[in-house]
């Protein structure tokens, strides 16, 4: 499938109709047949109504918007009018239908995009693997025996496989950046609180953010402008640094080589107390998630995914003083890191510590020991979410090999600079999407 900006240009110019685009998209999703375990629902009737409205607007001489006729999907925790919002859980499979769309969906519809599907996730977004007890485990389109990452794995896999040009996920501790890295596409976690969370089922409000997936920076820029209004201005000169310490100790050699190629003279910065920051993030996440689901756990704990239930129960039992201490540390840590990176505009770091692990053995090597992927694929993303900084996962060019990404991390509110820098890397051929159809030759 073409990129979003290309589809929109064709629809707006009359080269193809929004309905024709939609029919081709629905046919592709039907042919996919659940192979990726990425789609949880097809919204065909709604999508046809939206596509028809776009074609009618064009016929009457009205501009339907910069995403005219572009089909997309959303992680299964966005409110969709008339549909139950399940957050990937059987617990809410028969919940009352949402009375309105999530705000992000409203903005995309206003720009002409056509909502087609809901997409698989870890239950309640609690995990980095998209292993879902109700829908199954989402598979990586580059190797169906491997994880796609999570918790927005369905949103990433369906875009990486080119069945949809873009999708929306959510990122709490890395749930956009991890699957973007493992499936070889672009994924953005914005500055905390920048994109609208209205109508999005929460996980941990201290960290939750909406985040898009695309196969090009041009598409990501278009989505950013639609979702925000596009008012921020990038810096003319971009000062780059690399993150060292545990970021470098748990990195693939190709990631280190790519960072050197991108900015060979960039200084190396060691962020202090990374392990402590990650522990505090785990604690806050567990406490907020446990509090959110405390009543439902008390009513019917056995209805939860077993892999989610125990962690939510543990979070619900955490003492309030520990949660408050973690939040106090977070406030102090944010100030320290803000001062430390004041002279730099982009920080380079690995997005994930390795390529996608096998579904049959979902473990990864962290600090020299095997660790559960569901918990530790976010080792490099979680400390960044902890202080609310924006981060864009960009794919390295690795034809014939499994995907792997880098994070471009910026100061609060600097998404325009990150997007401009990513466009420069894409233009130079240092980063870019590799098609899953390219021959996979194997990875260690």
Which residues, in sequence order, are bridge partners of residue 241? Answer: 347
Helix, strand, coil shares of the chain, percent, nearest 5, are 40, 20, 40
Mapped onto helix, strand or coil, the DSSP state of residue 347 is: strand
Of the candidates 155, 207, 163, which has an alpha carbon nearest to the alpha carbon of residue 186?
A: 155
Q: Tell me, what's the pLDDT at 439?
A: 40
Catalytic residue among 17, 175, 216, 391: 175
Domain 4-228 top-level CATH class: alpha beta
| Residue 75 known to be catalytic | yes
Say what the pLDDT of residue 438 is.
Answer: 55
Phi, psi of 168 (to 5 degrees): -115, 140
Predicted confidence at residue 231, as pLDDT, reads 67
* Residue from 17, 89, 151, 216 carrying the catalytic annotation: 151
Same fold flag, 4-228 and 240-427: yes
Cα distances (angstroms) measured from residue 392 to each of 105, 209, 360, 416: 21, 13, 29, 11
Report, as ranges of residue numbers, the positions in the chain whose pLDDT lies below 50.
439-441, 444
**2 has catalytic annotation:** no
Cα separation of 349 and 251, whole Å? Answer: 9
pLDDT the model gives residue 437: 66
Instruction: Delimit the domains of the chain by residue range.
Output: 4-228, 240-427
**Angle 242-150-165 (CA atoms, 0-180°, nearest 5)?**
90
Dihedral angle over CA of 422, 426, 429, 433, nearest 10: 110
Q: Give the E-state strand segments of 322-386 in sequence order.
A: 346-350, 363-366, 369-372
pLDDT at position 440 is 44
Q: Single out the catalytic residue among 17, 75, 385, 391.
A: 75
Q: What is the pLDDT of residues 155-214, one digit of tens each?
A: 999 999 999 999 999 999 999 999 999 999 999 999 999 999 999 999 999 999 999 999
The CATH number of the structural domain formed by 240-427 is 3.90.1300.10
* Rounded Cα distance, 95 and 83, in Å: 9
**89 a catalytic residue:** no
Select from 179, 208, 213, 180 the least CA-distant residue to 196.
208
């Amino acid at each position: 499938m073409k990129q979003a900006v290309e589809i929109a240009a064709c629809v707006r110019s009359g080269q193809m109709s929004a309905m024709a685009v939609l029919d081709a998209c629905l046919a592709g999703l039907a042919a996919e047949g659940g192979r990726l375990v990425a789609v949880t629902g097809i919204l065909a009737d709604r999508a046809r109504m939206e596509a028809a409205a776009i074609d009618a607007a064009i016929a009457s001489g009205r501009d339907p918007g910069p995403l005219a006729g572009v089909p997309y999907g959303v992680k299964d925790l966005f409110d969709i009018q008339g549909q139950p919002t399940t957050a990937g859980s059987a617990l809410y499979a028969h919940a009352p239908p949402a009375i309105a769309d999530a705000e992000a969906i409203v903005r995309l519809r206003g720009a002409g995009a056509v909502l087609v599907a809901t997409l698989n996730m870890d239950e309640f977004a609690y995990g980095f693997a998209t292993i879902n007890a109700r829908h199954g485990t989402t598979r990586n389109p580059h190797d169906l025996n491997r994880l796609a990452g999570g918790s927005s794995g369905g949103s990433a896999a369906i875009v990486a496989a080119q069945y949809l040009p873009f999708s929306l996920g959510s990122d709490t501790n890395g749930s956009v950046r991890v699957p973007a890295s493992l499936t070889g596409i672009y994924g953005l976690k914005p500055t905390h609180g920048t994109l609208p969370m209205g109508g999005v089922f929460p996980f941990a409000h201290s960290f939750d953010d909406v985040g898009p997936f695309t196969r090009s920076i041009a598409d990501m820029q278009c989505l950013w402008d639609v979702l925000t209004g596009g008012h921020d201005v990038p810096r003319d000169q971009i000062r780059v640094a690399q993150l060292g310490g545990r970021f470098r100790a748990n990195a693939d050699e190709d990631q280190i080589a790519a960072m050197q190629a991108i900015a060979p003279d960039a200084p190396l910065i060691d962020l202090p107390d990374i392990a402590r920051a990650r522990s505090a993030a785990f604690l806050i996440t567990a406490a907020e998630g446990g509090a959110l689901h405390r009543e439902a756990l008390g009513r019917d704990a056995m209805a939860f995914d077993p892999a989610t239930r125990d962690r939510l129960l543990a979070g619900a039992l955490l003492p309030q003083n520990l949660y408050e201490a973690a939040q106090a540390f977070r406030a102090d840590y944010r100030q320290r890191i803000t001062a430390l990176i004041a002279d730099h505009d982009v920080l380079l770091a690995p997005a994930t510590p390795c390529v996608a692990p096998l579904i049959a053995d979902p473990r990864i090597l962290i600090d020299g020991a095997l660790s559960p992927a569901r918990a530790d694929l976010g080792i490099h993303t979680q400390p960044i979410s902890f202080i609310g900084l924006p981060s864009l996962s960009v794919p390295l060019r690795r034809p014939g090999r499994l995907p792997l990404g880098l994070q471009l991390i910026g100061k609060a509110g600097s998404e325009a600079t990150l997007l401009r820098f990513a466009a420069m890397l894409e233009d130079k051929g240092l980063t870019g999407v590799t098609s899953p159809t390219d021959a996979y030759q194997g990875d260690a």
